[in-house]
A and B are shown apart, each in its own frame.
Chain A
Amino acid sequence: MNKPLRRIAIFCGLLVFALLIRDNWLQYVRADELNSHKYNRRVTIERYASPRGNIIVDGKPITGTTATDDTDYKYRRTYVNGPMWAPVTGYASQAFDANQLEKLNDGILTGNDDRLFFDRTLSMFTGDKKKGGDVVTTLSGAAQKAAFEGLGDKKGAVAAIEPSTGRILALASTPSYDPSSFAGYHDKDAKAWQALEKDKDKPKLNRALREIYPPGSTFKVLTAAAALEYGKVTDINAATKTPEPYILPDTNREMVNHARNCENATLKYAMEVSCNSVFAKLGHEVGRDNMVKMAEKFGFNNGEIDTPVRAAKSVYDRNMDRPQNALSSIGQFNTNATPLQMAMVAAAIANDGKLMKPYMVEELRSPDLDVLEKHEPEEMSQPMSPRTAQLVQEMMEAVVNSDNGTGGKAKIKGATVGGKTGTAQHGELNKARPYAWFISYAKTDSGSPVAVAVVVEDSSATRDDISGGGLAGPIARDVMKAVLDSKK
């Protein structure tokens, strides 16, 4: 009877062996996948098991943590002035996961990041509770406040950048939401979340980064830069030989001007009053491929602009025909840009042609304030020569300062301001209310500390360029002034 007994022994051994293999498969091979599975609540429980680190602006936290009496989640996220900062922080909710900085820097904020291993080990011995690290942002409280209050109850967005470094100074979006309102997981949190989801104004949308708008006439500064860079215009004060009316190439469609005296206008004058015909003609002369090249140097068609929150892809169509390219050159047809993208355009011009990569996380800090990671400014591209940039600056400053310029409302005492207005028509047959745009920068003797792009949706403006200056201009001015004042 011993031979079958030995075989049964082998059989039992195989049963145990099968279990061991399966266990290795589960706990070694598939461990990460199961550990981060979307149904695995341990991730969220861990996120709120200890006080979460903070997001810092101007040395002060704009987030907080409060203890709960819950068995699952020991702590809950709170926000200081949540609606104003929501486009920066994003949210961290017990029921609805997290996004933006809260999500991207989750490891640091919860204290689980590998770089905090030493702190964790140390607190194990000292008996302290695990703590999260902090995320220090580049934002300016004053600029953000000016942007958020300037937008008020209008729908729109503001993005402001420091041109010489790419530091993001303001990132506002309205209507906004309070991430505290659904930070928990109770019924009221679910209700608040659902109300936001259903709201047709999309308050959760981060318009400054994640929404693309037709840039309208603000795109003309890019076309002007391309015309100068590719030698289509050498003197901004020379007549451009533009007929009136200008007929779009290969069509018999007339390019309508909302401004006067555009026939043979100089580039500078065309910029001041925003002549469609002049810029459509120049865009056509530069040609589609060169226009695409120029736009891409500024960041268009790039789906990976990470601040670290990823911005939506701004578009300058690569495959359109000649009349479409002419229309695109004045910011119509398929051309679309995020407010951040247009702020980048203004920033590159203000920075004498050099585009810095925009970022909003200055450094990551451990709970005991050691710097774990510091962000250094990084050059993204050089879309134009300093000479071209200075010429474009001269024209943009004329838009603000000259008598017939459209951007007069952005003037600031004690600083030089250059800007460009825009009113983007959109919707079927351009019936929808236009978007009012304003992009600008401010300059002092020590360089340019701020470039800003403002867009106001659904404006009740009439369809001329003054509306861009009228609605969006004052907001841009306030943001620039806030930055200038804080430098003093």
Chain B
Amino acid sequence: MSVVTNTTTIGAIDLPSRRNTELALLGFAVAIAVFAYANVGLAINGELPSGMLGYGLGLSLLAGVGHMAVRRYAKYADPLLLPLATLLNGVGLAFIWRLDQSERFQALKTFAPAASKQLMYSAVGVALFVAVLLLLKDHRILQRYTYISMVLALFLLVLPMFFPAVNGAKIWISLGPFSIQPGEFAKIIIAIFFSGYLMVKRDALALASRRFMGLYLPRGRDLGPILVVWAISILILVFETDLGTSLLFFGMFVVMLYVATERTSWIVFGLMMSAAGAVGVASFEPHVQQRVTAWLDPFAGWGKEAASEQIAKSLMAFGSGGTLGTGLGQGHSDLIGFAANSDFILATVGEELGLAGMMAFLLIYGLIVERGVRTALAARDPFGKLLAIGLSGAFAIQVFVVAGGVMGLIPLTGMTMPFIAQGGSSVIANWALVGILIRISDTARRPAPAPAPSPDAEMTQVVRP
């Protein structure tokens, strides 16, 4: 992070910073989102929505502020991450607004429009993104807080146990009018802890092992950390009955452990332990059993099990979309009812944008993960590598768990789709996650400091007019 002070009057030719590419892509992302918003208005009310100008300006402002922060504080950062996140966030807002327009929801007593609130949360998210870039000059600073992170993450994970369950899962804490999903923040903080811890311990974990049947078996005492994390994730599953968060943390840990030690045996252990844990818990936890039954045959529980019915409705929404979808604002995904704009928002994407739109969304998520992995590859320090792969791995697993859940590929869990689903915690935490990735990618792509100039070099004179 040293500022290169070059005494030569003609400086080294800068590597392209790609900031202008980013700006162009941002313009594109904002345009698509505004177009989606207008499309919803035209389809439902036959006119351009009155809030379109405000929405367009708000989104442009958020994108602009984000871009300026990157230009100023992370000049060499990856040019794709910010536009991709903006696109998802913007289109997600259009979808939430579209579900606000549903007459079916408006007829409910509990109805409250969610779009404007979500725009506010997005603003907070972007503010946090800017704050990360502003305050975190170098991601390696985070390494200092390894054990504080651990304590904080555990605290955040344990906290929801003391609050009442919402819809069968204890993943919320409510503070007055706000309810927060601490798991979303814990995801980032625990990645910091894992990175710091594994960076120190990786050699011990990797080298001190015995070979058995082609696998390197770790020493008993080195199994400690993975057992602890496994135990914690099982406890989350049991006490908070949240399969998604549990899977997310354990998956992230196994990924990072594998990257840190380069030992395939960890993956084998990880898979075995998670399988054993999941089967074990499913055998006595009714909430988890219900989810599994609902997953195996969603239509069997129609009219009897709310959980099955919801998945069945989600599947029918996807099926009704077909290849090209009904068009924005013209589907009936609001028939899903509860959580249509949060956990099940992908069903609306599937119904109204069809297979084509869904594939585009999945590829955008895939692209974010790809940029994260690329950042990890390019990072020059092990801490940065571990943190980047941890965050992008967690992002990938979350996308898989949520999208797989609503599409009936795996049992449904109570997590939200990053950026597009309604919910403050999720959007704020994910903006912070993107902020950290941008910080690491900036460090990774920043040109190495030029060698100190030779004092003997002749000065070249430049005459300026």
Instruction: Mark A residues whose CB is within 8 Å of B.
Output: 1-9, 11-13, 15-16, 18-20, 22-24, 26-28, 30-35, 37, 39-42, 45, 71-72
Contact = CB atoms under 8 A, between A and B. Distances in A.
B322 A27 contact: yes
A312 to B, nearest CB: 32
8 contacts: A7-B258, A12-B369, A20-B362, A22-B408, A23-B359, A27-B321, A28-B355, A34-B320
Nearest to B103: A71
B377 A34 contact: no
A27 B319 contact: yes
B366 A16 contact: yes
Contact of B318 (A1, A6, A13, A26): A26
A6 B370 CA distance: 10
Contacts of A45: 332
Nearest to B388: A5
A41 B377 CA distance: 49
Q: Which 3 pairs between the two chains have the least Cβ-Cβ distance?
A: A34-B319, A27-B355, A16-B366
Contacts of B409: 18-19, 22
B299 A39 contact: yes
A16 B397 CA distance: 9
Contacts of A9: 370, 373, 377
Interface majority SS (helix, strand, loop, mixed), chain B: helix
Contacts of B392: 12
Nearest to A43: B320
B129 interface: no
A16 B363 contact: yes
A185 to B, nearest CB: 14
Contact of A5 (B318, B323, B373): B373
Contacts of B262: 1, 3-4
Contacts of B299: 37, 39
B403 interface: yes
A34 B315 CA distance: 7
Interface string B309-338: 000100110111111000000001001000
B216 interface: no
Interface string B388-422: 01001100110110011001110000000000000
Contacts of B408: 22, 26
A15 B259 CA distance: 18
Contacts of A26: 315, 318-319, 350, 407-408
A24 B373 contact: no
Interface in B19-64: none
A37 to B, nearest CB: 6
A28 B104 CA distance: 28
A4 B259 contact: yes
A8 B373 contact: yes
Contact of B323 (A6, A28, A34): A28
Contacts of A40: 316, 319-320
Nearest to B262: A4
Nearest to B334: A71
B403 A30 contact: no
B427 interface: no
Given A1-B385, A23-B359, A42 B320 contact: yes
A39 B317 CA distance: 11
A16 B323 CA distance: 19
B277 interface: no
Contacts of B377: 2, 5-6, 9
B134 interface: no
B88 interface: no
Contacts of A30: 319
Among A6, A12, A22: residue with most chain B CB under 10 A: A12
Given A31-B322, A34-B319, A22 B399 contact: no
A45 B102 CA distance: 14
A6 B363 CA distance: 19
A26 B298 CA distance: 14
Contacts of A20: 359, 362-363
B350 A71 contact: no
Contacts of A27: 318-319, 321-323, 350, 354-355, 358
A19 B403 CA distance: 7
A31 to B, nearest CB: 5
Contacts of A8: 255, 258-259, 373, 389, 393
Given A5-B373, A23-B318, A27-B358, 10 more contacts: A1-B382, A7-B258, A9-B373, A12-B369, A12-B370, A15-B400, A23-B359, A31-B319, A37-B299, A42-B316
Contacts of A39: 299, 302, 312, 316
B411 to A, nearest CB: 14
Contacts of A5: 259, 373, 376-377, 385, 389
B370 A19 contact: no
Contacts of A15: 396-397, 399-400
